[in-house]
Amino acid sequence: MAKAIKKQALGRGLSALLKDPDNDIKSIEDTNADKVVGSIIELDLDSIEINPFQPRTNFNEESLNELATSIKELGVIQPITVRKIAFNKYQLISGERRLRACKLIGLDTVPAYIRIANDNDSLTMALVENIQRHDLDPIEIAMSYHRLMEEIDLTQEQVSDRVGKKRSTIANYLRLLRLDPIIQTGIRDGFISMGHGRAIINIEDLDVQADIYHKIITDNLSVRETEALVKHYQESLRRGEVTSVSNKPQQYVLPERYSKSFGNFFGAKVDIKVNNSGKGKISIPFHSEEDLNRIIKLLEN
């Protein structure tokens, strides 16, 4: 977490620099432009306008609320990207969901990468130099690769040539950005390794990803043990079995065992359904109003 705090503090300093009207940075040739290119900067939300050419107009409300909750708990893991269009005015390039989520929870600023006029070559150099550093965590490296592809419009093959890494290596890093944000934070903070992340990414369900992540932490699983756990989960899915990978109470892992106990108590066949993340429901059938009143009395006693 200390690393993130340090970056945000630096971002606020650069933000103040960008608000100095006597030293407005308009192009890469201007004084202090080199400090802006490739850096994360805290920008005021009200200084950013939505790109009018954004093809996406519909945003799932539930998904947006989930992202807002994640940002409230963990912060913005991947900064947005904006284009400087005037003094203290910016236009969004990418990250509209993140921007909307920040507004939803009432934030005043958002971490951002700023593009300025004729900065393509400088940005490429800054990103490539950043990737070569030895103190970067896997998520930071993945985000740098992603920026080279998204903002400079490079293919994985071209990124591979620029940074001197195999294309498969680039692809493995980029896949980490598909992990649940909680897991990305875990990798950044050193709770789990990139190898753990590469094993978890083979699970599409984010709830199950989170279950496996917590089990790795709780049981101190090695990468090999994590790979075996993921393989077991995938095989159970193919067999159509309901399974759990977490350390949840036993009644969640083996609901069938408790159906009979519930049934004996209520005098009815109780149905217990549990999904792979451990969430579920208990259904108690009744056949008449009198039968319902009988069940209610049992619950009240």
Residues marked active site are found at 96
Burial label for 233, CB within 10 Å (0-12, 13-18, 19+), is: buried
Q: Which residues of 14-40 are buried (b: 16+ CB within 10 A; e: fewer)?
A: bbeebeeeeeebeebeeeebeebbbbb
- Cβ atoms < 10 Å from Cβ of 282: 14
Three-state SS for 248? coil
Distance of alpha carbon 263 from alpha carbon 269, whole angstroms: 5
Residue 212 in tokens: 């496996």
CB 208 within 8 A of CB 180: no
- Cβ atoms < 10 Å from Cβ of 71: 19
Helical spans, DSSP H, in 20-119: 33-36, 61-74, 96-104
Residue identified by tokens 């090999």 is 224
3: which residues sit within 8 A by CB, 6+ positions away? 137, 188
Distance of alpha carbon 83 from alpha carbon 151, whole angstroms: 11
Three-state SS for 58? coil
Distance of alpha carbon 186 from alpha carbon 194, whole angstroms: 10
Nearest to 144 by CA among 117, 121, 173, 167: 173
